[in-house]
Amino acid sequence: MKKIILSLLLLTGLTAIKSYAQMEAAQKVKWDVEKGVEINMELDAIWEVFNNNELLKKASNGYVSAIEVIDAAMPISRKIVFSNGDSRLESITQNEAHNKLIAISFDDTKLPKGIKAAQYAIFFKANGSKTNVMWRALVSGDGDGKQALVKQLNAEFDSYAAGLEKMTKKSIPAVRMN
């Protein structure tokens, strides 16, 4: 009986050591791009903008000229056409309404030269009647290609932040007719 108890204690101890070793391996992600803004808009309204391609195009503040859904089944494949004529194929890999999270990865066939992989996520969090929107991107690749894509993503996220801010501005009320 002592041998069985001793064996169980030994197995339990080894399992705990192995679990602890696995936890040490977990590392915090170092994002290549982080852009956060607070928008004077309710969370559900912002969520609707990011899930409606026409509103999202408007929110890009002129940076995006078209958003075309290629395959509506998850992961949703879409083509983004920028106002300078460039385009990007990407897949929405997560669209979680309950967590207010959208994750997007770039399709491998259209990655810029020197880039192995690229993805970004958009996080939404209510803050009273306002909403915090956070873009975070991760780019894997060499120096020049990575720098160019990081610069492009910063400009893109800045355009969305400015466009969302413009969407919250009050319009001039119409003149009242008698």
May I ask the CATH class of domain 27-167?
alpha beta
Residue 21 is predicted with a pLDDT of 47
Q: What are the structural domain ranges in the chain?
A: 27-167
For CA atoms 38, 33, 113, 71, give the dihedral sign.
negative
Residue 28, pLDDT > 50, answer: yes
Q: Which three-class secondary structure state does DSSP give residue 33?
A: strand
The fraction of the chain above a pLDDT of 90, given in percent, is: 70
More confident residue, 163 or 12: 163
- pLDDT tens-digit readout, 83-137: 999 999 999 999 999 999 999 999 977 787 889 999 999 999 999 999 999 999 9
Could you tell me how far CA 133 lies from the centroid of its own chain? 10
Query: pTM of the predicted model, to two decimals?
Result: 0.78
Q: 169 pLDDT band (50/70/90 cuts)?
A: confident
